[in-house]
Structure 1
């Protein structure tokens, strides 16, 4: 059984429903919630098969599906996956811990052209499981496919550790930006968006 994630251990009771309500409110207010999806859409061919790893309420998966891609979203939190199902018909959403990710065992045997890991997901996995999580995600991506990871740099997972974990997972660093809208990377940036490729 997987270790409890930081999403469970480092948040208060009711946090998941608060998160659902927050993004429903932002959507109702017309907030731009598709920035990650725009970048991923620009990186992949039309009609790609994409894994939204740590999909939360499904906003990134929904935005990519609206652009013509086939989406499978995965999250360990059943409350978030239930909200994703309710709010975003189209993508397939599954409950699964990324540290034990086995999508063929859940009826999704086909590899993905890309995986997106947005919303600080890598900083919410269980402590010490970051290398395993990245390796499990990479294992579901086809050769020459992409893994795009974004998180705040002040959240306890240094970019240097991501780079080491990526190498161990068989991924190659291709690009790094300071934001999802491609502002240049700086060592003191508060956010990192990293584009990794699984070599052919």
Structure 2
């Protein structure tokens, strides 16, 4: 929300950007296709930092039970309007407690696309990863993607994930399953819970 405080029109710009891309026929489903391929049919999926709902909406249309959470009320309102079906909630990922909000079962898959991790205050990164882990089934998977050059080094992210009780199962350089290398400009990390 610091970005919105600096630029009050940011949320509206972001919403319209994706609506315009959808009208133009752009492919907006890459992240969702990736998650759909790794999820069991009818999975319970959390879209953490869901924005205006394009990924969660796709996954719900594919038959999954989706909950989307974002800190920005304007983005949640757009998700409700453009992608009815999932349960959209305003919430801070660092304080995520979905059982207290009537979402009681753990998730098969949690995903976070759109550089969400890089928008978090550095002091909240490990707490967010810990909160996500606490909402994940013991055999569940967490898929997080973000770009390089956004003040969150990939190595630091993986160290933070380990601190939060998550281990890397698979590292890719894109949602379209390209291998990760030292020179990759993007990271898609599939994480699994480590033993408590």
Gaps of 5+ in 2: none
Is it true that 1:172 corresponds to 2:173 in the alignment?
A: no
Structure 2 Cα separation of the partners of residues 25 and 196 of structure 1: 32
Which of 36, 44, 53 aligns to 1:41? It is 36
Equivalent residue of 2:146, what SS? strand
Per-residue CA deviation, residues 25-55 of structure 1 (Å, 9 max, x unaligned), is 1111111000001111111111100000000
TM-score by length of 2: 0.96
Which of 76, 80, 96 aligns to 1:81? It is 76
Q: What is the CA distance between 1:126 and its match in structure 2?
A: 2.0
The aligned residue for residue 117 of structure 1 is 112
- Tell me if the contact between 2:52 and 2:79 (Cα under 8 Å) persists in the aligned partners: yes
Structure 2 Cα separation of the partners of residues 197 and 121 of structure 1: 19
Q: What is the CA distance between 1:13 and its match in structure 2?
A: 2.0
- Tell me if the contact between 2:76 and 2:89 (Cα under 8 Å) persists in the aligned partners: yes
Large movers: runs of 4+ above 4 Å: none
The aligned residue for residue 153 of structure 2 is 158
The aligned residue for residue 128 of structure 1 is 123
Per-residue CA deviation, residues 150-195 of structure 1 (Å, 9 max, x unaligned), is 0001111111111111111111110011110011111111110000
- Aligned pair count reads 195
TM-score by length of 1: 0.94
Per-residue CA deviation, residues 60-101 of structure 1 (Å, 9 max, x unaligned), is 001111111100000000000000000001000000000110
- Tell me if the contact between 1:144 and 1:199 (Cα under 8 Å) persists in the aligned partners: no
Gaps of 5+ in 1: none
Structure 1 Cα separation of the partners of residues 22 and 50 of structure 2: 16
Is it true that 1:140 corresponds to 2:135 in the alignment?
A: yes
- Tell me if the contact between 2:47 and 2:111 (Cα under 8 Å) persists in the aligned partners: yes
Is it true that 1:71 corresponds to 2:82 in the alignment?
A: no
Structure 2 Cα separation of the partners of residues 81 and 104 of structure 1: 19
Structure 2 Cα separation of the partners of residues 63 and 135 of structure 1: 26
Q: What is the CA distance between 1:127 and its match in structure 2?
A: 2.9
Q: What is the CA distance between 1:6 and its match in structure 2?
A: 4.8
Is it true that 1:60 corresponds to 2:55 in the alignment?
A: yes
Q: CA RMSD in A?
A: 1.2
The aligned residue for residue 195 of structure 1 is 190
The aligned residue for residue 93 of structure 1 is 88
Per-residue CA deviation, residues 1-32 of structure 1 (Å, 9 max, x unaligned), is xxxx55446x5220000000111111111110
